[in-house]
Structure 1
């Protein structure tokens, strides 16, 4: 049976990720170690604890599925991050900077290769930018820059 273009693309993507040292074990380590930092952080910890409470195992499993889908094209993640984040009224734009700072710090500690670090940093920045835009973008702000 002939592979579809999408199947070939996913296979090549996974092969490249594996060449960077990215596999399911690394994704699991990345998520576990990162969220340990988040939980210990004086700014982010209380926000996450307030929302997640005693459901950390389920949240970590969901984040492993999310990052596995991104890094390994598993197709296993079917969530909708934006609606969940829109409910977080205590989150401010600077929280995303702190999240990215911890994420980069974690990658410095656990990445098997510079390519893996760059791969995840790039995607984390894109995700943060997308969530921030969805949560805080105000079209009226664009009008302030227009000159009459």
Structure 2
């Protein structure tokens, strides 16, 4: 024999915690793992993935809003320059029509156009740019710009 005791008085020792014989197979995976913790790593990974997806969505939303605000600012600047050039006679056309055409060609909608108070040949233009439907509840991005000739006594450029 190999030195193990067999016979009438031999019985396996048991674990006090589980009441199972030591070394007994604990089921799939063996090793005596606690069944209450099975699948907990799957739930943790799913939770981490959900949080990562939410954060990614928030970053994408902020990036989209920032990009549309920049587009609105650019469209307003260009539309105000076109309107001011038309008001000063440097460009053919009616100032606010030129501003509207320029805003539209830059993906914006002109919402207001008026002569700048106190600036001869100056124009104020407001535009808006729509956001993606998923974040449309935030309202459109808006831009405001003023353009005109430099003040008297200052050299341009």
Q: Same fold (TM over 0.5)?
A: no
- Higher helix proportion (structure 1 or 2): 1
More strand by share: 2
Q: For the superposition of Structure 1 and Structure 2, which TM-score range results when normalised by the shorter chain?
A: under 0.3
The higher radius of gyration belongs to: 2
TM-score (norm 2): 0.24
